[in-house]
């Protein structure tokens, strides 16, 4: 029976066309193919293969295969189908996420260099003759004689040796070829080898559970709940060794790109004899580096894969273990369709591939922790720091009192924090200062009329950046000139409100003029490798004070850091989100865990205007279980996750009334035949009412069954036409309610 293939066409569109398969081609789902598209050649990815449909027209034939092997493995195709079904996203869109653009297109390819290899060794008489009359040719032959592999032309003399190489090739003594060169993102890095550490009883117990899981046909996910500094990474490393010994491959996910360099360093130092089998995948790689790393994984040359969220789609075969570090991080949730959560996909992929999954965190998400209470996941606990050190002493500073001392002016650094930093610097110890807001000033406001300068495209104030001397929107990136007078009342009294990392850096340099200070935020890490180089210098003690946003708040291990200062701990506390308290607790606990990880005692100073907040007090006492108990009680009373699943329906348009009316219409449709147990919220303006020149309205649905939520939403959206200028998106298990 003739076969046809449904093919996702490369490009920005979502076009899927059927083509007939020539009899001489073995086309499988996941293969990349060349096709005729109108009057031009094109490429695409095979989604499915089926019998050729009967019809009044003939299908056009495929041209040929780009690669005979499928780029998408069978388990990944099943995972794509699960994502499409669960999150209500077209399969074509999911496939685009699984195969990166650098792989789909044909513009990127392997990098090659001209090389030479010995083809036939000359006799001794011929070598002696070469040594007398053609010394360059003799030198080349000598080098190639001791190398079983091709040697790049550049190492044999480069362009100046071209005549000699040509002469040797004509004699048949050497063969000129193309040598594939790996674009290694860590090519210039060196790694000092490390040896496995002796596991303490708690670590050993978890390791035994992992060994059982690796040998199980139906492994249960394991949550590793270990306090900061408890040695979770050593458990990861030894679990990786166990999986490698079984001939399995390992995938390690980290939430932030900032954590990738340190994680790569640790794994390359431990597995220094297998360093060529470690691959890295994240968005900071160049297109060429990403191309090479992806194909190394696909070919089985890389057995340990380390990457950020999208690395969950790494084309690794024979997976034995997936490790999700800092599993609680919101960064694992994809913001654009398909709006998957990488942690949840790790669990699903492990189920499909029958491999183990280890979720690690000092502050597990309530959803994951609740799964351990229900018996869906195993729970392993590390209650003590691995080196025997105690948790840092945490002090809370009431900034309302500090404001009175400074007569109402912004007190960026309290007297207590300033004194503590001075003591640490005198003792040649290091300090981390955390502030989760970049820029110089939060906004510009006119005191006489109260006018705040906002973005023309978004409903938020513009942030003042002193280095660029610009007002910048942190949502859409819009920039504006800093006005000298109020645009509203023309009063010159306009002034800055609040502060960010840029201003904090200037204050720190004034207060501590002899200290070496570095700042890490989105503004300072735009240049490639800046983040890695700064963290390396900080580890080498070339930097005394490291100031930064949340990219320095978790997972980093610096033994000489004895003090962590948290500026403005209230920033995330009063966001219009039921997870605000959880995120604040997690962030404060994580950043506090950077102190006292070596032989020296640690100290944490939290500056806040709400010192009695439960999130801050529980973080102060490192009391995870106390926080979880009161937070779960609140969630249960109000019907929020983890006791229900949540879906966010968002309508946005440049026409405010159309967006609102569309959502009201959808609300009426959703209310019809509402599944049992589902709570339907009312349409309201989003907390961020306008973004990228589009007005936003949203509603929430909550229910015990995520499939029922997803099916009801997708059915309603499919059967309800919406205006062309209104974009409606649904986000199941939403993390961002703004």
Q: What is the pLDDT of residue 21?
A: 92
Low-confidence ranges of the chain (pLDDT < 50): none
Q: How many CA atoms lie within 13 A of 523 on its CB side?
A: 25
Question: What is the tens place of the pLDDT at every residue in 155-208?
Answer: 787 777 788 888 888 888 888 888 777 777 776 677 788 999 999 999 999 999
Q: What is the pLDDT of residue 249?
A: 97
CA dihedral 654, 659, 662, 663 (to 10 degrees): 150
State the first-to-last Cα distance of the chain, in angstroms, to the nearest integer.
53
Question: Which residue in 353, 349, 344, 361 sits closest to 235, CA to CA?
Answer: 361
Q: Report in angstroms the alpha-carbon separations of 571 from 434, 505, 616.
A: 12, 18, 12
What tokens appear for 182 in the block? 């790996």
CATH topology agreement for domains 201-382 and 393-440+499-634:
yes
Q: What is the pLDDT of residue 407?
A: 64
Q: What is the pLDDT of residue 159?
A: 75
CATH superfamily of 645-732: Ribosomal protein S10 (3.30.70.600)
Residues whose CB is less than 8 angstroms from the CB of residue 494 and which lie 6 or more positions away in sequence, other chains included: 444, 445, 446, 483, 484, 485, 486
Please classify residue 596 by burial: count the beta carbons closer than 10 Å to its beta carbon, then call 0-12 exposed, 13-18 middle and 19+ buried.
buried
Instruction: Spell out the CATH class of 393-440+499-634.
Output: alpha beta
Residues whose CB is less than 8 angstroms from the CB of residue 477 and which lie 6 or more positions away in sequence, other chains included: none
Q: What are residue 729's DSSP bridge partners?
A: 650
Fold adopted by 201-382: Rossmann fold (3.40.50)
- Measure CA 431 to chain center: 26
Q: Does domain 3-104 have CATH number 3.40.640.10?
A: no
| Domain residue limits, the chain | 3-104, 111-181, 201-382, 393-440+499-634, 645-732
DSSP assignment of 1-34 equals: --EEEEEEESSSS--EEEEEPPTT----TT-EEE
Residues whose CB is less than 8 angstroms from the CB of residue 704 and which lie 6 or more positions away in sequence, other chains included: 643, 644, 645, 677
């Amino acid at each position: 029976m003739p076969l046809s293939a449904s093919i996702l066409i490369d490009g920005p569109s979502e076009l899927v066309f059927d083509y007939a398969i020539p009899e001489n081609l073995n086309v499988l789902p996941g293969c990349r193919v060349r096709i005729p598209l109108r009057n031009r050649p094109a490429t695409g990815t095979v989604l499915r293969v089926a019998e050729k449909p009967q019809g009044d027209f003939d299908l056009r034939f495929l041209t040929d295969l780009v690669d005979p092997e499928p780029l998408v493995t069978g388990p990944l195709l099943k995972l794509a189908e699960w994502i499409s079904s669960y999150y209500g996203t077209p399969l074509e869109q999911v496939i685009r996420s699984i195969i990166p653009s650098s792989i789909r297109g044909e513009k990127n390819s392997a990098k090659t260099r001209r090389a030479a290899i010995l083809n036939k060794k000359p006799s001794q008489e011929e070598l002696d003759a070469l040594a007398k009359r053609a010394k360059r040719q003799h030198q080349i032959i000598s080098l190639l004689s001791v190398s079983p592999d091709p040697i790049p032309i550049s190492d044999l003399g480069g362009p100046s040796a071209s005549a000699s190489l040509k002469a040797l090739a004509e004699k048949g003594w050497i063969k000129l070829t193309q040598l594939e060169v790996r674009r290694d993102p860590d090519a210039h890095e060196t790694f000092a080898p490390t040896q496995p550490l002796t596991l303490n009883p708690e670590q050993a117990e978890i390791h035994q559970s992992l060994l059982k899981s690796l040998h199980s046909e139906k492994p249960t996910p394991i949550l590793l709940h270990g306090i900061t500094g408890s040695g979770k990474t050593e458990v990861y490393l030894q679990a990786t060794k166990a999986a490698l010994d079984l001939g399995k491959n390992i995938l390690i996910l980290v939430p932030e790109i900032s954590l990738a360099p340190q994680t790569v360093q640790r794994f390359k130092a431990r597995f220094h004899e297998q360093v060529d089998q470690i691959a890295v995948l994240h968005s900071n790689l160049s297109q060429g580096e990403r191309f090479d790393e992806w194909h190394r994984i696909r070919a089985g040359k890389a057995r340990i894969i380390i990457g950020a969220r999208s690395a969950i789609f790494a084309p690794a075969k024979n997976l034995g273990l997936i490790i999700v570090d800092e599993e609680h991080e919101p960064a694992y949730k994809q913001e654009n369709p398909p709006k998957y959560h990488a942690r949840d996909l790790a669990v699903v992929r492990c189920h499909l591939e029958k491999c183990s999954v280890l979720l690690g965190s000092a502050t597990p998400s309530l959803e994951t922790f609740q799964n351990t209470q229900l018996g869906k996941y195993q729970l392993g606990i590390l209650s003590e720091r691995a080196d025997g050190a105690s948790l840092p002493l945490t002090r809370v500073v009431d900034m309302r009192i500090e404001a009175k001392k400074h007569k109402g002016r912004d007190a960026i650094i309290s007297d207590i924090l300033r004194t503590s930093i001075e003591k640490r610097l005198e003792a040649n110890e290091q300090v981390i200062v955390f502030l989760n807001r970049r820029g110089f000033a939060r906004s510009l406001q006119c005191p006489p009329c109260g006018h705040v300068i906002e973005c023309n495209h978004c409903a938020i104030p513009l942030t003042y950046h002193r280095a660029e001397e610009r007002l910048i929107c942190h949502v859409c990136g819009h920039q504006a000139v800093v006005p000298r007078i109020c645009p509203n009342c023309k009063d010159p009294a306009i002034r800055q409100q609040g502060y960010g990392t840029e201003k904090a850096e200037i204050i720190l340099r004034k207060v501590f003029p002899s200290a070496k200070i570095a700042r890490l935020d989105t503004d300072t890490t735009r240049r490639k490798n800046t983040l890695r180089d700064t963290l390396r210098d900080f580890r080498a003690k070339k930097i005394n004070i490291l100031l930064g946003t949340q990219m320095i708040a978790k997972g980093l291990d610096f033994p000489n850091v004895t003090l962590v200062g948290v500026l403005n701990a209230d920033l995330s506390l009063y966001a219009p989100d039921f997870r605000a308290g959880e995120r604040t607790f997690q962030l404060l606990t994580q950043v506090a865990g950077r102190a006292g990880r070596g032989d020296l005692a640690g100290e944490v100073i939290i500056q806040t205007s709400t010192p009695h907040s439960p999130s801050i007090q529980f973080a102060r006492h490192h009391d995870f279980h106390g926080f979880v108990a009161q937070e779960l009680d609140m969630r249960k009373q109000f019907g929020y996750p983890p006791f229900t699943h949540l879906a966010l329906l968002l309508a946005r348009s440049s026409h405010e009334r159309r967006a609102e009316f569309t959502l009201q219409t959808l609300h009426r449709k959703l209310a019809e035949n509402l599944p049992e147990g589902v709570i339907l919220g009312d349409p309201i303006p989003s907390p961020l009412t306008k973004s990228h020149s589009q007005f936003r309205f949203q509603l929430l649905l909550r229910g015990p069954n995520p499939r029922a939520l997803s099916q009801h939403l997708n059915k309603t959206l499919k059967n309800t036409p919406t205006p062309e200028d209104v974009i409606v998106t649904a986000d199941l298990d939403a993390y961002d309610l703004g």
